[in-house]
Amino acid sequence: MAPSKKHIVAAAAAGIITATLAVAPANAEPSSAPASPTTEQSTDELAKQITDKQHELANVNEEYLVAQEDLAAKTEAQKTAQAEVEGAQAGLETAKAQVAAMGVEAYKSGSLPTTIYLLSGESPQEFIDRANSQQYVDAYHDQRLQALDAAQASSQQVKDQADQAKTAAEQAEATLADKKSTLEDEIPKLQETLDNLNAEQQAALEQYQQQQIAAEAAANEAANGPTGEAAPSSAPSPASAPASNPAPQAASGSIQAMIDWAMAQQGKPYQWGATGPNSFDCSGFTMMAFKQIGISIPRTSGAQAGTGTAVPMSALQPGDLLYGPGHVGLYIGNGTAVHAPTSGQSVTTITASYFKGARRIA
């Protein structure tokens, strides 16, 4: 059963419950207002916990989407196996009917016992001819019996495979159902905690995220070299990313159309499992971007990272798919990418060096 939109939203949001519930200490007095951190350390710690959980959320999103695809594949395998069972059973019934018909025909024709039939020949040559004929009939019966046995074995083998596929699909479905139920119970607590974040905590969270982006970009650039078109000197934050296309170089007409579409999605919120038109998750965003120019790519970020041809980060071209752990984006030129970041954020641009690798698809 396909998950409802409510299920997907609940699953995505619940990934950061554990960390955000740490805002108020366990021994705090009940209060209608949240407890504000009194030191820079407590504010920074909250920001770190939320950001870490957002990274974890991206991985949970990937796991869920992969499990969903696996469930669909196993369900399809069960249907195919069941069809093969029915085909094998039909073959079995056909073989049975043919063998039975031969026996009935022999009875109706009044065939003599084999020994009498062979000895009743008028000459040695006729004896040999009849013996050869009888061997042919016996061989034919043997072939039909062997075919019957093969049909039975095939039927049983396919049935076993069908049962295994069905069991696997049911187990996967049960696991997802349990996860959905748990997340649906936790989502109200998460929403309350997020609503209670004060201005100081929100500012600390944004600052920490910007620092993390800059640190990851610096580490990736040190490992891979500079990106293809002079990356910006500092990492833009999701909140302050440029709102216009930075005029990528050497983009073909179709690639430029894809980039124009991607840039037009800026400001639309991240939503786990969403593929537009009003919200996206990271892989849903890139999948829909390539769809604009008639290219179909897989749904999950892990599968997308294996699509196309690998290209070094120092040789990027507009339209390249960028990837990192559990995340993907689209290179638009001039060292810049556009992506759907994470829960609580919107589609925006970012330095391309934030990502670890690239694939050329178009």
Distance of alpha carbon 360 from its chain centroid, rounded?
A: 20
Distance CA 296, CA 361 (A): 10
HSE of 293, CA atoms in CB hemisphere, 13 A? 18
Active site residue 55: no
Residue whose entry in the numeric block shows the structure tokens 């400001």: 267
Active site residue 7: no
Distance CA 266, CA 263 (A): 6
Report, in this order, helix, strand and coil percent for the chain, each rounded to 5: 60, 10, 30
Element (H or E) spanning 333, and its range?
strand 327-333
Q: Which of 7, 55, 141, 282 is catalytic?
A: 282
The residue count for the chain: 362
Distance CA 34, CA 315 (A): 49
Distance CA 24, CA 189 (A): 13
Give the SS3 label for residue 190. helix
Residue whose entry in the numeric block shows the structure tokens 């369900």: 75
CA dist 335 to 231, 250, 252, 355, Å?
Answer: 4, 13, 17, 11
Neighbours of 167 (CB within 10 A): 12
Distance CA 77, CA 166 (A): 8
Active site residue 339: yes
Distance CA 318, CA 305 (A): 16
**Residues in a beta bridge with 327:** 324
Token couple for 312: 């070094």
HSE of 58, CA atoms in CB hemisphere, 13 A? 22
Give the SS3 label for residue 236. coil
HSE of 163, CA atoms in CB hemisphere, 13 A? 6
Catalytic residues: 282, 327, 339
